[in-house]
Amino acid sequence: MRGPWRAAKLVQDPGLSVLISFALHSLAWAGRLKTTAAMEILSAPQLKRLQGSDVLVVDDSAAIRSVLVALLQRLGIAHIREAENGLSAMALMQQRAADIVLCDLNMPGMDGVELLRTLASASPGIAVLPISSLDARLRFAVSRMAGELGLHVLGVLAKPFKEEDLLRALADFGQAPAVRTTTATAFSADDLADALDANRIEIHYQPQVRMIDAELVGFEALVRLRDRDGELVSPDAFIAMSESNGDIHRLTHQIIERSLKQLSLWSRQGRDFALSVNLSAASMTQLDLPEHIEAIAQSYGLSADRINIELTETQVQVGAELYDVMTRFRMRGFGLSIDDFGTGDSSLTRLRSMPFTELKIDQEFVRGCTRSQEQQSIVNSSIELGHQLGMLIVAEGVQSPEEWDVLGAVGCDIAQGYLISPPLPPGDVPAWANSWKRLNAESIMSRAGQESH
C-alpha cells in the first residue's frame, strides 16, 4: 500500500485510523488542487457565487477543520468560520448567519443530527453539507431528514473524500437558481391571487436529452411566479397554498395554457420537442381535466403524445378519482410520469396499478450513484424494473460526467440536470438548443467515452 493510506494502516484504533486516513488523504488532494481542477467542475458564475458566500465548518477535529478550511480558501472563499461542536456553531450563527454549513455528524455534546435540526428551525433553507464516516445508509437517512426539515442539502460526504467530491457538492450551491424561497408568512394568499390576476406566472424549461446519443428530445416545464417587486418566487412558496385555498385549478390552467402555447410556437419554428408538465395531485380531482387539457392542445395543433403529465410519487393517493383521470389521460394519448421515484411509500404498488409510461429517478439517488454502491444498486434496480414494465427512464439532477457514465452504462434513457442545462426562460431556449446541437452533445459524449476507458 502506497501514498497517504499507508500511515492509517499502521494505526490500530479504528476511529483514529479513519481520522488520520481522512486528514492525510485530504491534505494530499489539497496539495494537488489547482484552479483548472475547480474550473472543470465549477462554472465561473458558480465559483463567483461560492466566493461571495459565508461558510461555517463544524467538526470536533481541529485537523479536519484545517483541511476543509484550506480547501475552501484555495477556492477563493474569504468568509470562513470554524466551530468545534454544535453549540459553538449555533453561537456563531447568532452572531452572523452563514450561507453554507459543513458539519461532522458524530460530535460530542450537540451532535451533527441535532445541529441540523436546530439549523432548520433557526435558518430555514440554509445550505448544509454533512460529512461523516458513518455507513452509507445512515448518511442517506441524515440527508433525507435534513431535506424533510427544509434544509438545502448539498449532499453527504463520506470520510475520506476527494477534492472532486467536495467541489461537486459545493457546485449545487453555486448553481442554485436565483429564485426566492419565501415562507408562507412572507407570501400570502392575497399575493398569489394578485399574481394570478396579473398573469405573473412564468414557465422555465429544463432540457431533457437522450443518453444514447445526447440528442435533445424535450423539456420539463417548471412554474415560477414574480412578486410585486419583480423577484422570482419558488413554487415551494405558493403550490401548497394554492391547494389549500382552491386556487390550484386556476393555477393549473395558466401553467397548461402557457406551456402548450410555447410548445406550439417552437413547433411552428420546426422544433418538435416533447414537453413534461407537473400537475398537483389536487388537480387530479378535476374529472374533466383530461378533456380540458386535450382541448387546449388541439387548439394549438398539438398531438397528445408530445405531452407528458408528471405526478410526484409522494403526492399520489390511490383512489377511484385518480384512476379515472389517469386512465382517460392515457386513452387520449398523453404520457404519464411518476416523478421523484423512490421517495414515497408503496412504490411497487403504484407502478403495478397505475398506467404510468415514464419513471423519473429522484435526484437524491442520481447524486449518490457514483459514491455509494447501495445507491447505485437502487438506481440499477429502478431502471431494470421500469424497463420490464415498458416505461421510459429519466434521471433527474444529473450533475457530472461520472453520473452520466454510470447511468448510461445501465441503460437509462433520458437525462436531465445542470450538467446539461439549468431551467431556461423560453426566450433562451432556441440559442441554447443550437449551442447544444453544435457543441455540448459532442463534448459530453467525447468526455464520457474517454473516462470510460
Per-residue pLDDT of the chain (453 residues; tens, 9 = 90+): 222 222 222 223 333 333 333 343 334 433 443 444 565 677 777 788 889 999 999 999 999 999 999 999 988 999 999 999 999 999 999 999 999 999 999 898 898 999 999 999 898 889 999 998 887 778 878 888 888 888 988 888 888 888 888 888 888 775 544 444 444 446 788 888 888 888 888 999 999 999 998 889 999 999 988 888 888 887 877 887 888 888 888 899 999 999 999 999 999 988 889 999 998 877 887 888 999 999 999 999 999 999 999 986 555 555 677 788 888 999 999 999 987 675 555 456 667 777 889 999 988 888 778 777 777 888 999 899 999 989 999 999 898 888 999 999 999 999 999 889 889 999 999 999 988 887 665 665 565 556 555
Q: What is the pLDDT of residue 129?
A: 94
CATH of the structural domain 5-174, one choice from 2.60.120.200, 3.40.50.1240, 3.40.50.2300, 3.40.50.1970: 3.40.50.2300
Q: What is the pLDDT of residue 33?
A: 39
Burial of 327 by CB count in 10 Å (0-12 exposed, 13-18 middle, 19+ buried)?
middle
Which CATH class name applies to 189-452?
A: alpha beta
Q: How far apart are CA 248 and CA 250, in angstroms?
A: 5
Question: Rounded to 5 degrees, what angle do the CA atoms 83, 76, 96 make?
Answer: 40
Q: What is the pLDDT of residue 34?
A: 42
Contact present, 121 and 134 (Cβ < 8 Å): no
Residue from 258, 204, 201 nearest 428 by CA: 204
Contact present, 287 and 325 (Cβ < 8 Å): yes
Angle between helices 163-174 and 62-74 in degrees, nearest 10: 60
The CATH 3.40.50.2300 portion of the chain extends over: 5-174
68-76 contacts at long range (C-beta below 8 A, 24 or more positions apart): 68/26, 68/102, 68/131, 68/166, 70/27, 70/30, 71/26, 71/29, 71/30, 71/33, 71/163, 71/166, 74/30, 74/33, 75/38, 75/42, 75/47, 75/50, 75/51, 75/167, 75/170, 76/47, 76/50, 76/51
Helix ranges (DSSP H) in 308-372: 320-331, 347-353, 363-368
DSSP at 416: -
For the beta carbon of residue 12, count every other beta carbon within 10 angstroms: 6
Strand partners, 128: 101, 153
Residue from 255, 257, 253 nearest 299 by CA: 257
Angle between helices 163-174 and 14-32 in degrees, nearest 10: 70
Residue from 151, 232, 210 nearest 398 by CA: 210
The CATH 3.20.20.450 portion of the chain extends over: 189-452
Strand partners, 206: 220
